[in-house]
Structure 1
């Protein structure tokens, strides 16, 4: 790896990180991979691996550095682990280009999308930094996510990068008339890559504001972590939330939402606090959804849960978080290797929920995504299939501090709305709280670390998108095609591949 390779690798990594929130520079993603593509082909695969690692390390250190805020060890592990996927992409792309020449670059969008999709599986799943997530500001360009999901947006962005790279490459080479024709074809393709999504988005997004059917009040109490989990934390939390809820009820909401672990106690197991919330709910005559830890005395299992209290009823509807944060709520592979539990941040030993709960409310059915569950397209899709008419995302992003983490987390939810044409109410302890309509349009986004009350009327889901019906079909096609191409390359050039190491 020479100096040129190092410069190009770090440049691509840095540009990719700049395209993510809170900076509104998503357009940088359209050319961020051009320096990276300029590195290929490599004479040796180990050089391609090294370039992939450097690019991934720069990208992840610049994007998810905030993981170091609560846990330095977890942050450093994330930088290196997530960089492995860049190494895989670089190696596979180099294999294709060495086997098929410049035509191998056509493999890039399929391979990138396949790797992103596979990253969403397993105990270390973390599809946070998907390339498509850089595009949440451009709602008119990303409406086809209702067909392809966010992974289709990533495919689109990589294709734009590939067109730009090809244009720059042909502009610096003299190739006669054939080269000129190809250059013009690439220009037309690049223009169409923007025009077609824009026309589609302009056609499907209604010009008027959607008529709301359920009025929701979101409470952002902004209670610091050290206060919430202190001995007096339960008293402070209840007092703050109750006062803000009383003020919110002047708007006559149909539902009040408190954030993740809003009640820092075992709400359902401690009768004093459970009755307090029941009585408070009855006195206001309004349903309250709250996040709370939970504990099952029979199994000895802990859960990160959400509970819906309905006025006049003692039955409480509940949901246990299904996707747990690795290293925080659950140490990956700790069932097989119990000693790993001692390395968990916050001594997390939660159990994953099993049920896709749909809360029953007189004005509309809804489901709850707790914390980083909003980054998983399939989970939101399953709730929609189960009959949810709107979604709620409750979270406590105070752990991230004043970093880019809360902003990135909030923006990701835009795609869950578009993919399923479903409205979302987002409630965060310290922000960002906001409302998202079924077309990804955000309203009422709050500053972080401030107390806020948001009230808006959400529309109920009326249609079932292609994505809701068929899921990540596009991504699965990319995985299949990438697998076939990889087998072809390996089988047809095994001897040559050995030489390139």
Structure 2
């Protein structure tokens, strides 16, 4: 099949008009695809079953193949940008570049679909294979994230998501894409055209219906089976503050007040009946390092830090820098002592998200190595620290740092303004952690923030005795109470099913909750209206900006002047946010899953098939 338009030249310009109409038709497919998918994500989940129909028709049309691929990339850029709109709260330039890079993943998908269509392979087969391959490719590398995946839209449909214990979230996405592909097979050009039924088309419809009947049967079986495989587990409390933030104004919150509130919530939770054996705080809930290597640093290390900071900021004064540093050290030490005293008093372990600083031993760069960490305080025992293993690109660590590939990413970070405050170091691995009392010990794995979003970074493929309980801590303040909180929540349901793990999650601004091994979400922290997230945005942002403006003015601002503004911030937070705690007894599951044994084999096979079709299609055009 040639790649030329079938429109004949016409001296009166009708061919040009027809060509322009066709291009508009192509663009309309792209816009419809993005709109349907966005609505299915955030408003009406059943629409996810038709979400890929416009994309498939965009890809397989015979006219203007190069134009179709270009439109697919542009549409994909807007598609991923719309789904990740929350990233604009953090940095609009970074969102644009990230969306363009992710849009490129649609090109091999479209070529693979076209090649399969040319060989008369039903779209109910080629579309799920190629789309899942694209989802898998987008999950790889430093920017790996399940953006644009179909499966999250169905995370509340427990009878559907049980198949994730066979092939992960990718298997659910493939079943959804199969429906879109079958619709394109039935109505290849328009839903208004009557289908031409044939033996092959009937087989397609029967096959897709059969697959979904099997999904329903398997899901029902696994849900019923869970009644006999669950075991009563430990009592856990999750604590949730509500501190949204933005790069231009921060969060406007006094860290000392936040810390006191977390202590208050924890003490209240500890006096519930039954009392929790583990209390979980969010990521970055304490802003100063808690480890003794920082809080009780040697005089030589303190002097080295002062010299480094003065060298970085020549206008800084040695004495003021030293006083600031020693104040941070005292603050960290005081916080660590209060948390340990709370653990000893309540006989409950606590997980607290905070930065970690270790002295740099090789003499190169700065005086400290920085980590994003979770501190595990145990009653009358030493503190254990889990360092975050998989860091968020650019914001926590520039990708490929120390290699030739660092340069372009460093340049992109400079252009977009997404420079990490500290170049964080990755942790080595997940530690085998456990808590308990005289009734027994409970092992768990501790993924931090976005590590829970992918199976391989969440610890799903670790031994089952280490993953029967996953504890996730996250700082979701950057999402500013948007619908992205629900998308993050959907990842929890799939991680639970994929490994048959129970999950306890504590997140700043939400959603802090518990997830059963069936994927059912329960025990979320809610407000007085029963909402686990509000979607009301960051209304106090303008007031915070005004407070900062007044404090930065030459005349300054005293406490009396800004007191009404602080009261307004508190009022807006109460109306828009969700904070508190939740205590639940966790149900554990004895089952192990096929997916935790074979990993992403299904998605990898789809990726291999798609890449083969892509290279065949590209080679044929040449």
Q: TM-score, normalised by structure 2?
A: 0.73
Pair 1:438 & 2:456 matched: no
Structure 1 partner of 2:85: 65
The structure having more radius of gyration, on CA atoms, is 2
- Alpha carbons of structure 1 residues 383 and 240: separation in structure 2 relative to 1, 3 Å: farther
Deviation at 1:470, TM superposition (A): 1.2
Three-state SS of the structure 2 residue aligned to 1:141 is helix
Structure 2 partner of 1:185: 203
- Alpha carbons of structure 1 residues 389 and 481: separation in structure 2 relative to 1, 3 Å: same
- Give the 5 Å matches for 1:474-489: 474-489=602-617
**Maintained 8 Å contact 2:123/2:182:** no
Deviation at 1:59, TM superposition (A): 2.0
Q: 1:351 aligns with which of 400, 411, 425?
A: 425
How many aligned positions are there? Answer: 487
- Alpha carbons of structure 1 residues 378 and 181: separation in structure 2 relative to 1, 3 Å: same
**Maintained 8 Å contact 2:370/2:424:** yes
**Maintained 8 Å contact 2:468/2:589:** yes
Three-state SS of the structure 1 residue aligned to 2:374 is strand
- Alpha carbons of structure 1 residues 204 and 103: separation in structure 2 relative to 1, 3 Å: closer
Q: Deviations over 1:154-173 (max 9, x none)?
A: 11111111111112239836
**Maintained 8 Å contact 1:48/1:87:** no
Deviation at 1:282, TM superposition (A): 0.9
Structure 1 partner of 2:138: 119
Deviation at 1:261, TM superposition (A): 0.8
**Maintained 8 Å contact 2:231/2:590:** no
CA distance in 2 between partners of 1:402 and 1:382 (Å): 31
Pair 1:327 & 2:418 matched: no
Three-state SS of the structure 2 residue aligned to 1:19 is helix
Q: Deviations over 1:219-244 (max 9, x none)?
A: 01223548997898432222111111
CA distance in 1 between partners of 2:169 and 2:514 (Å): 19
Structure 2 partner of 1:288: 350
CA distance in 2 between partners of 1:101 and 1:390 (Å): 47
- Alpha carbons of structure 1 residues 191 and 52: separation in structure 2 relative to 1, 3 Å: same
Deviation at 1:101, TM superposition (A): 4.1
Q: Deviations over 1:242-295 (max 9, x none)?
A: 111111011211110001111111011323322222122112211101111111
Q: 1:402 aligns with which of 481, 486, 495?
A: 481
Deviation at 1:2, TM superposition (A): 0.7
Deviation at 1:203, TM superposition (A): 0.7
- Give the 5 Å matches for 1:56-205: 56-98=76-118, 100-101=119-120, 103=122, 106-169=125-188, 172=193, 175=196, 179-205=197-223
Q: Deviations over 1:61-105 (max 9, x none)?
A: 32111100111112222222221112331233224434x245577
Pair 1:250 & 2:271 matched: yes
Two-structure CA RMSD over aligned residues (Å): 2.5
CA distance in 2 between partners of 1:357 and 1:323 (Å): 14
- Alpha carbons of structure 1 residues 245 and 181: separation in structure 2 relative to 1, 3 Å: same
- Alpha carbons of structure 1 residues 467 and 489: separation in structure 2 relative to 1, 3 Å: same
Which region of structure 1 is more displaced relative to structure 2, 65-74 or 272-281?
A: 272-281
CA distance in 1 between partners of 2:433 and 2:252 (Å): 32
Structure 2 partner of 1:464: 592
Q: Deviations over 1:354-385 (max 9, x none)?
A: 11112121231011111111111112313445
Three-state SS of the structure 2 residue aligned to 1:5 is helix
**Maintained 8 Å contact 1:53/1:86:** yes
Three-state SS of the structure 2 residue aligned to 1:186 is helix
Structure 1 partner of 2:450: 372
Structure 2 partner of 1:425: 504
5+ residue gaps, structure 2:
1-21, 296-332, 362-367, 527-531, 534-576
**Maintained 8 Å contact 1:364/1:460:** no
**Maintained 8 Å contact 2:112/2:613:** no
Q: TM-score, normalised by structure 1?
A: 0.90
Three-state SS of the structure 1 residue aligned to 2:140 is coil
CA distance in 1 between partners of 2:49 and 2:398 (Å): 36
CA distance in 2 between partners of 1:216 and 1:405 (Å): 25
CA distance in 2 between partners of 1:197 and 1:105 (Å): 16
Q: 1:241 aligns with which of 262, 271, 280?
A: 262
- Alpha carbons of structure 1 residues 486 and 36: separation in structure 2 relative to 1, 3 Å: closer
Deviation at 1:133, TM superposition (A): 1.7
Which region of structure 1 is more displaced relative to structure 2, 217-226 or 302-311?
A: 217-226
Q: 1:454 aligns with which of 582, 593, 597?
A: 582
**Maintained 8 Å contact 2:509/2:579:** yes
CA distance in 2 between partners of 1:468 and 1:3 (Å): 46
Deviation at 1:204, TM superposition (A): 0.8
Q: 1:263 aligns with which of 283, 286, 289?
A: 286
- Alpha carbons of structure 1 residues 136 and 233: separation in structure 2 relative to 1, 3 Å: same
Q: Deviations over 1:337-364 (max 9, x none)?
A: 2555643255352121111112121231
